[in-house]
Structure 1
Amino acid sequence: MPIAIRSFFFTLLLLWFAPSKPAEAAGSLTLQDAIGEALERNPSAGMERQKLRQLEADYRAARAGLLPHLSASASYSRFAPDRLAMTAPSGVALYEREAYGGIGLSQLLFDGKTNAIRKAAATAAGAQEAQVASAENIAAYQATKAFIQVLESRALLQAAEQARQRARTFEAMTGAYFDAGKVTRLDLLQARSGRLEAEASLVRAQELGQTGMALLAAVIGRELLDFTVDGRLPAAVPPVPPDSMAIEVAIARNPDMHRSRKLADRAGYSADAARGALYPAITAKAGLGYRDRDIGGGAREWTAGLQLDLPIFDGGALRAGIAKADGALAESRESERSVRLAVQSQLRQELSAWRTAAADVRSADEAIAAARESLDASQALYRAGKATALDILTAQLGLSRAETERAGALAGYAIARAGVDLLIGSSRSFTLNSKGGTP
């Protein structure tokens, strides 16, 4: 076979058997895309889902105690023919071989713990469902927060670019005035210093953007920064809901609150099961089989009856179990109260941050308007020879600072809003669009 043909087939074999790595799709990510990837790849949420599977299996095992139990059995035995020589009448032959096969059925009629154990297992699975929802809620919040930080860095970059453009324009104008002998060299040096500071701020904003992208990639489980984000910071801050209404919604919908209530219910059922161990257990049993012996032949046989089990004395183990279960119940109720207080406190903090961001945005809007008016006035006076370069630089700095503060305030609102959604259990509903609004 020619060498070229052999090389061709060898290459095909390498491509066929080479391990493939799924490629990450490059492109533009919306906030909902980022949340979806975070939910899909978040390891904490994945571990909680696997724990849920285990607890669901525990529930099925606990429920089995209330269902009929059917079993089959078979045996074959050989015996010594003189095993009863001292008591059997002389000349009576004893069987030496016996075979048996049959089925048995048992059904628990009453006890004080099995149904309580089933309920405890069911509530444990329900609590874990809430834990899964909490893990997914946190993953969505982390993705949202990282996405907002990227948008904030983009807004800061835009403000830095505008500041650099203003500084360059002013430096060019000052250079022309210096050449014409209208300003001193000090004005030219100050204008150049302002431009260098604006360029340094631009570099810092660019690096902040790269850091934000790296953080977002880590949150959504990507290794490469081969994507862009599609969205803008909100254009305005909507009214803040009343604290009482938000707290009421959080108490009803927060996954951690739901989980703490389920765990308290589970502890209550576990305490019932511990006390139920003191009650008698009544079980119905029945059997049907066939027994065959080498002497006497074989025949069908059946059994039926009730079995009662009642603990009389166990050295205090059951009472100790009851005390332990009651302690666990009291602990779970305190834990539920602790979670409720923590949710209320965190929610008030997020609502306070929301209100603060709204006030900061209003203040920044007024500062931007005043800074622009001041910059226009300073430039007019500078052209007329009645202002210095320092006056221009001060006005430019004030405008840049106000624009930066507005971007930070809008990002602060968006993060506070995401925090509120986290606490009321709806992190996945937070959206941003490319026009800069939040629903």
Structure 2
Amino acid sequence: MRTRSVIPGLLAGVCLLATPAQAETLKEALLRAYEDNPTLLAARAQQRATDEGVVIQRSQALPSVTTSATYSEFLQQNSVSFISPERQLNASVDLSLPIYQGGAVRNGILAAENRVEAGRADLRSTESAVFTDVVTNYMNVIQNEAIVELAANNVEVLEINLQATSDRFEIGDLTRTDVAQSESRLAIARGDLRTAEANLVNARERYIAAVGAAPTDLEPPPPLPGLPASPDEAVAVALENNPDLIAAIERADAAGFDIEVAGSGRLPTVSLFTNGGYQNFLGTLGSITGAPADQTSTNATAGVRLSLPIFQGGRVAAQQRQATAQAEAALEQVIATERSIIAQTRAIYSSWRAANAIIASSEAAVAAAELSLEGVRAENTVGNRSILDILDAQQELLRAQVQLVTARRNAYVAGFSLLAIMGKAEARDLGLGEDGVLYDPVDNYERVRRIVWDWHWDPDPVATSSRTVDIPAPDGEVADTESAGD
């Protein structure tokens, strides 16, 4: 009984599928997500909002100018006054320049700058997380397409086996039990194929959500560069470059400056001030001398203002204690983040090494299962093996093939996750800058940090990421491998 063997190309590489000329690469998927993923675009916008914290803090050290104008109508005149005006126009201009504010401004700026650095690290972390999600979904599509191919091939093999078994039953060479066993395995295989197709639909939907486009004939991913030789090396790199840890450290530093800002509330403040005023009675001011009264007047004042808090009901002390406790919490968060990174790095490294070991054992298992299946078929022709033995050998081969496909997917995802936690899975690390200008958060910071004009604003906010509602719902089918390669 001869049957079509499993497509050799399925197990030839990580992709396990023939690649047409217009296939999509992992780099293209990552670049699309870099430019269009809403989570990443939102993180960039949030960082631009964080940049403004420095400008807001610095504004407290700059001069402030205010003006006011008042027009008044006196509806009822003073009965004992002979010169009461009927209306009045007042205008004033006030200028204030802070000289000393107890260190609140300087420490507030330093805290805001640290939070900008923390935000940049958060943006790096979001970028790595988005890329890890893209790689995971990219490999999930490849894995599930391969499993669908294997399941479809298994159904075809079992259909041929059932036909051959039925033919032998007709001539009395096999029993009805043999036919029933073949029918049972075929029914299960068809159910497994439907499950595999449903899993492929789910993988394709998740890919669309992450990338913003449907997966099209995904190519095998390139080898991952810079993977560590030991868990200790991975941990050392992670502790130096992991963006989450960097963000936690920057926030702890900012919290330290917050203590000084809170304590400044008990210190004196000094400022220079000047103001000018203008008054006009609009020709309605009377005179008791008979000569026309002067209807306008001006005044100007300049001076130094000193303010020294004496008693504030314990508010400043409470604010400083609160800031101290928050700084302590931030320091503990640094340790917690460091612990988590160490544990995750070691665990991911172990998973990556295990997946590579499983690949080697699965390749040996596939080779042995193929040899076993051929031997069982040969022995069945001379009556030494039953149909059930053939079915069991076929199932064993399928399990080994699926395990190999899964191990290759797991090894690549674990390897990329290891790079991500080491801080080595960002756009610059992946060479995405070769295809366009990379987003640099420093550009926006430099753009806004010196703006002091109150009437400056950015354009109205608009969402720039694309929607996926118009992308057709994916199915669980896989293009025929042989025709795709023609």
Range class of TM-score, shorter chain? 0.7 to 0.9
| 1:190 equivalenced with 2:181 (yes/no) | yes
Counterpart Cα distance in 1 of 2:225 and 2:46: 40
- 1:258 is displaced (CA, Å) by 2.5
Q: Provide, for residues 297-338 of structure 1, a one-character-per-residue CA deviation record: whole Å limited to 9, x for no partner.
A: 989875443322222222222111111111111011111211
1:106–1:285 Cα contact (<8 Å) kept: yes
Once structures 1 and 2 are overlaid, which stretch shifts more, 68-77 or 107-116? 68-77
Counterpart Cα distance in 1 of 2:430 and 2:90: 69
2:227–2:419 Cα contact (<8 Å) kept: no
1:421–1:427 Cα contact (<8 Å) kept: no
Superposed, 1:56-135 pairs within 5 Å as: 56-72=51-67, 104-112=94-102, 113-135=104-126
Q: Provide, for residues 140-159 of structure 1, a one-character-per-residue CA deviation record: whole Å limited to 9, x for no partner.
A: 32232222221111111222
- 1:274 is displaced (CA, Å) by 1.1
2:256–2:327 Cα contact (<8 Å) kept: yes
For 2:98, the aligned partner's letter is L
Of 113, 127, 145, 2:136 maps to 145
Counterpart Cα distance in 2 of 1:108 and 1:366: 77
- 1:100 is displaced (CA, Å) by 7.4
Once structures 1 and 2 are overlaid, which stretch shifts more, 420-429 or 63-72? 420-429
Q: Provide, for residues 127-173 of structure 1, a one-character-per-residue CA deviation record: whole Å limited to 9, x for no partner.
A: 33333443343333223222222111111122223333433444454
Distance 1:104 1:185, change over 3 A: closer
Counterpart Cα distance in 1 of 2:223 and 2:296: 91
Counterpart Cα distance in 2 of 1:268 and 1:155: 54
Q: Provide, for residues 355-377 of structure 1, a one-character-per-residue CA deviation record: whole Å limited to 9, x for no partner.
A: 11111111101111111121222
1:48–1:132 Cα contact (<8 Å) kept: yes
What's the counterpart of residue 409 of structure 1?
A: 407
* Paired residue secondary structure (1:109): strand
| 1:311 equivalenced with 2:306 (yes/no) | no
What's the counterpart of residue 9 of structure 1?
A: none
2:89–2:279 Cα contact (<8 Å) kept: yes
What's the counterpart of residue 382 of structure 2?
A: 384
Contiguous gaps of at least 5 residues in structure 2:
1-21, 286-292, 432-486
What's the counterpart of residue 441 of structure 2?
A: none
What's the counterpart of residue 213 of structure 1?
A: 204
Counterpart Cα distance in 1 of 2:175 and 2:415: 51
Q: Provide, for residues 210-249 of structure 1, a one-character-per-residue CA deviation record: whole Å limited to 9, x for no partner.
A: 2222232344457xxx653413478999976422222233
| 1:202 equivalenced with 2:193 (yes/no) | yes
2:24–2:216 Cα contact (<8 Å) kept: yes
Counterpart Cα distance in 2 of 1:173 and 1:237: 50
> Which has the larger helix fraction?
1
- 1:75 is displaced (CA, Å) by 7.0
Distance 1:381 1:235, change over 3 A: farther
Percent identical pairs in the alignment equals 25
* Paired residue secondary structure (1:66): coil
| 1:322 equivalenced with 2:320 (yes/no) | yes
What's the counterpart of residue 479 of structure 2?
A: none
What's the counterpart of residue 267 of structure 1?
A: 255
For 1:63, the aligned partner's letter is R
**Count of residue pairs the alignment pairs up:** 395
Superposed, 1:30-41 pairs within 5 Å as: 30-36=25-31, 38=33
Distance 1:120 1:145, change over 3 A: same
- The Cα RMSD (Å) is 3.9
Once structures 1 and 2 are overlaid, which stretch shifts more, 200-209 or 334-343? 200-209
1:234–1:414 Cα contact (<8 Å) kept: no
Of 390, 393, 399, 2:391 maps to 393
- 1:54 is displaced (CA, Å) by 3.5
Of 422, 425, 438, 1:424 maps to 422
Distance 1:76 1:414, change over 3 A: same
What's the counterpart of residue 370 of structure 1?
A: 368
Distance 1:211 1:104, change over 3 A: closer
Q: Provide, for residues 283-305 of structure 1, a one-character-per-residue CA deviation record: whole Å limited to 9, x for no partner.
A: 23345677889868989875443
Distance 1:239 1:120, change over 3 A: closer
For 1:130, the aligned partner's letter is A
Counterpart Cα distance in 1 of 2:359 and 2:47: 44
Distance 1:266 1:229, change over 3 A: farther
For 2:62, the aligned partner's letter is L
Once structures 1 and 2 are overlaid, which stretch shifts more, 39-48 or 272-281? 39-48
For 1:207, the aligned partner's letter is A
Distance 1:76 1:377, change over 3 A: closer
Distance 1:163 1:239, change over 3 A: farther
Once structures 1 and 2 are overlaid, which stretch shifts more, 132-141 or 312-321? 132-141
Distance 1:159 1:325, change over 3 A: same
* Paired residue secondary structure (2:306): strand
- 1:394 is displaced (CA, Å) by 2.2
Counterpart Cα distance in 2 of 1:52 and 1:384: 74
- 1:195 is displaced (CA, Å) by 3.7
- 1:270 is displaced (CA, Å) by 0.9
Superposed, 1:244-255 pairs within 5 Å as: 244-255=232-243
Counterpart Cα distance in 2 of 1:58 and 1:234: 41
Distance 1:342 1:297, change over 3 A: same
Q: Provide, for residues 18-45 of structure 1, a one-character-per-residue CA deviation record: whole Å limited to 9, x for no partner.
A: xxxxxxxxx9654444445555665544
Counterpart Cα distance in 2 of 1:28 and 1:324: 57
* Paired residue secondary structure (1:162): helix
What's the counterpart of residue 332 of structure 2?
A: 334
For 1:106, the aligned partner's letter is S
Q: Provide, for residues 154-205 of structure 1, a one-character-per-residue CA deviation record: whole Å limited to 9, x for no partner.
A: 1112222333343344445445555565555544443444444433332322
For 1:327, the aligned partner's letter is A
TM-score (norm: length of structure 2) = 0.68
